A = this chain, B = another copy of it.
């Protein structure tokens, strides 16, 4: 069988990262088909030394892909992913369209690889970036000590809102430093240069005025970890950082364990790198995580204000493990089985 791999949304920030990660990991791409909106169709994109022309979405061309990565927003996924899957493609969808659909698995390969179906013609959802980074770190702690409650405050990079938001951060910062009028926010809801704001995605009045991002962290963490009653609460904040998300996490565990035991469990966990040495001021930072695969975790310490409390801080590349890398890892499981 001739292998064909598709990328929908090839010209976006995540789409570009897909190409990077596929090349680095020597994914068996076969024939590469790049799709985008009619606006971007016709653009040429390089992959492994070859130019590829971006084509408009087409059901037959999409359906011929063994694996089709989607990262063009929820409305494109809703329309095109079922059509691609109906023709036999395995769709790995980076949008939020199907994440909470009970028929669609939501996968972080370090956490629930067994949820990946062994058959073709399916949609597999790639979780929200903040949630992926959190789940990778929570899973080894859950195995060790169980989880009762998870409190998260996030520090989310501009990349999470796409390439245009990254440009907005740069343009606004440049203008402020030059003492020039700052370009108005277009992609983000507030100015981001030397600023931050507690709004990621829209507000959900029916969910107690949490934002959609905050509820994604709740709903998706529960689904990925198979813990439908896990207590999760978050405040999600956009910060003037380029492409790695950070999270301050306060946990309540089910069983009493030492901080050293947690550190040891994280030290051998897949996808995690412990960066935790107060004596030499080593801890995760987004610039350290930038462009790297593992989720960095540190600042591990007992929370003395609650029984079995644990504090930690993590940072991970939003475009890699938070999006493209996780999706490619899912696809690797698929092609290994297929």
Residues of A within 8 A of B (CB): 149, 151, 153, 155, 169-170, 173-174, 177, 189-191, 194-199, 203, 205, 208-210, 231-233, 235, 237, 239-242, 246, 248, 250, 278-279, 281, 283-287, 298-306, 309, 311, 313
Whether A286 lies near B195 (C-beta < 8 A) is yes
- Describe A's contact surface by its main secondary structure: mixed
CB distance from A149 to the nearest CB of B (A): 6
Identify which of B155, B174, B286, B305 contacts A233 (C-beta below 8 A).
B305
Identify which of B151, B170, B194, B309 contacts A241 (C-beta below 8 A).
B194
Whether B281 lies near A189 (C-beta < 8 A) is yes
Copies in the complex: 2
What is the CA–CA distance of A75 and B29 in the complex, to the nearest angstrom? 63
What are 18 A-B contacts defined by CB distance under 8 Å?
Answer: A149-B305, A149-B306, A190-B285, A194-B240, A194-B241, A196-B241, A198-B285, A205-B279, A208-B304, A209-B299, A209-B300, A231-B306, A233-B303, A235-B248, A237-B248, A239-B240, A240-B240, A248-B248
Q: Quick one: closest B residue to A198, CB to CB?
A: B313
Query: Contacts A233-B309, A303-B233 hold; do A286 and B189 have CB atoms under 8 A apart?
Result: no
